[in-house]
Amino acid sequence: MTEQRVSRASVGLRSERGPVLLAVMLSMGLVAIDATILATAVPAIVDDLGGFTQFPWLFSIYLLAQAVSVPVYGKLADVIGRRTVMLVGIGLFVLGSVLCGLAWTMPALIAFRAVQGLGAGAVQPMCMTIIGDIYTVPERATVQGYVASVWAMSSLVGPTLGGLFVDFLDWRWIFFVNVPLGCLAAWVLARRFHEQVSPSRRRIDWPGAALLTVGTSLLVLGLLSGGVEWAWTSTPSLLVLGGSVVVLVVFVLVERRAVEPVLPGWVFTRRVLNGTHLCNLAVGVLLIGLTSYVPVYAQGVLGTSALVAGFALAAMTLGWPLSASQSGRLYMRIGFRDTGLVGSVLALGGTASMLLLDEQSTVLQVAAGCFFVGLGLGLIAAPTLIAAQSTVGWEDRGVVTGAVTFARSMGSAIGIAVFGAVVNARVGTSVGGESGTGSTVPPELLTLAIHDVMVVSTATAVVLVLAVLVLPRRIVTG
């Protein structure tokens, strides 16, 4: 415990909080822009590389790599410090971006997206962990506004750049743009953020990490391929999904006996943490569903350009930081749970409104629904994470942040698999095999497919409301 207290003090004494916050915001911008810029380029990528039914893997493999690596990074951060883990993550993300920009086939692009995902698995949780280290809970109410501004700018810059690159240059530039941003973030962080972490005998649970990786990979593979590559009741489907269950059960047994489990059991025994996990799981599903299919609907059904489709999606990623910037003041007044409840109701209203979309709808209707969903998610994601962080000390903050981020990443990974299965069940037979693109799907059929996506999204929003109610009304902070 002495070593851990020294580590925490070192963060506060040797690091100037202003420059560190700037470095964190730059690092977060690296992931935030990537989250909004790719969706607008999906039709162009499919036109160039082919494989409409494969494009969900661009999101799922990224999210899967992010999800399975986050717990390991969280544990490493508690052992060797946040700075090293963050720099490794930025390096992997930049490397993956360069490789994606050079991809020659859809399978190659999918593989390189996995490298990006491994980098994002370190960057995103470390950003929030560092903020939790150097700012108190009341201070984070103000700092959250600065962090939210990153997503606000990214919500405009990402789709705009994506649309401009697709319409006037080449889709490959959506990946190359990450390189200068990543290098700048790493340079600032390396110069201004210094930790003195004493050597620790805490070990990483590598067997548990390997089992978690295999189990979740099989789960997503089974969900994404079921009903498309093979029937749900076929032998391959049963083997893959059954194998995932077996591996995950073994993972749970191994974790119970591990000295330093990658996901400690107590992370799932506290009410505030369980509520946070459920909320972020649902947030991940909603976020990836709209991010993946709103641009497809706008371009494939409404006939808009990639740039206009990007702006429709930007309404969600703009609403999120607007509400997130005010969430700190709100949860300091009414509490974390009531803040999340307001957000979940807003998200439910937004998804429900998009059930009315059809071939005669306008882009403004799409943007309005996305905006309200974004407002809702902004009042849930950050406040629940801060609530979870505030209940533990420095020595466990990395694990808790990693577990919450893992829940959201797995929600997105499972979500894109489910949404992909739902859409492909509608349009799979109408797409011309590997060369098929979104433009070959009749608008009326694509409308039905997107409607199915919105039905699942609305059901998820209902689950989100219930998940918020799992949180205790009063949360005791440490």
> What is the tally of structural domains in the chain?
2
Residue 225 belongs to domain spanning: 205-260
Q: How many whole angstroms separate alpha carbon 57 and alpha carbon 449?
A: 18
Asked if the structure places residue 161 within a domain, the reply is yes
Instruction: Specify whether the CB–CB gap between 402 and 394 falls below 8 A.
Output: no
Q: How many residues does the chain have?
A: 478
- Residue 5: predicted pLDDT: 39
| Cα→Cα distances 446→87, 199, 290, 422, 425, Å | 42, 56, 15, 11, 11
92 and 157 share one domain: yes
pLDDT digits (tens, 9 = 90+) for 210-264: 888 788 778 877 776 666 667 778 888 889 989 999 999 998 888 888 777 777 7
**Cβ-defined contacts of 107-112 (< 8 Å, 24+):** 107/54, 109/45, 109/49, 109/58, 110/54, 110/57, 110/58, 110/61, 111/61
List all residues 6 or more positions away from 356 whose beta carbon is below 8 Å from its beta carbon: 365
Asked if the structure places residue 198 within a domain, the reply is no
Q: Pick from 240, 260, 280: which residue ends a domain?
A: 260
pLDDT(474) > 80:
no
Tokens of 110: 């999918």
- Residue 99: predicted pLDDT: 93
137 and 186 share one domain: yes
Q: In terms of DSSP H, where are the helices of 230-380?
A: 235-257, 271-300, 306-334, 336-353, 363-378
Tokens of 316: 């969600």
List all residues 6 or more positions away from 34 whose beta carbon is below 8 Å from its beta carbon: 93, 97, 116, 120, 158, 178
272 and 249 share one domain: no
pLDDT digits (tens, 9 = 90+) for 44-70: 787 777 666 666 678 778 877 877 788
225 and 297 share one domain: no
- Of the listed ranges 101-105, 121-125, 195-199, 465-469, the least confidently predicted one is 195-199
173 and 248 share one domain: no
Q: Whole-prediction pTM value?
A: 0.73
Report DSSP state, residue 439.
G
241 and 289 share one domain: no
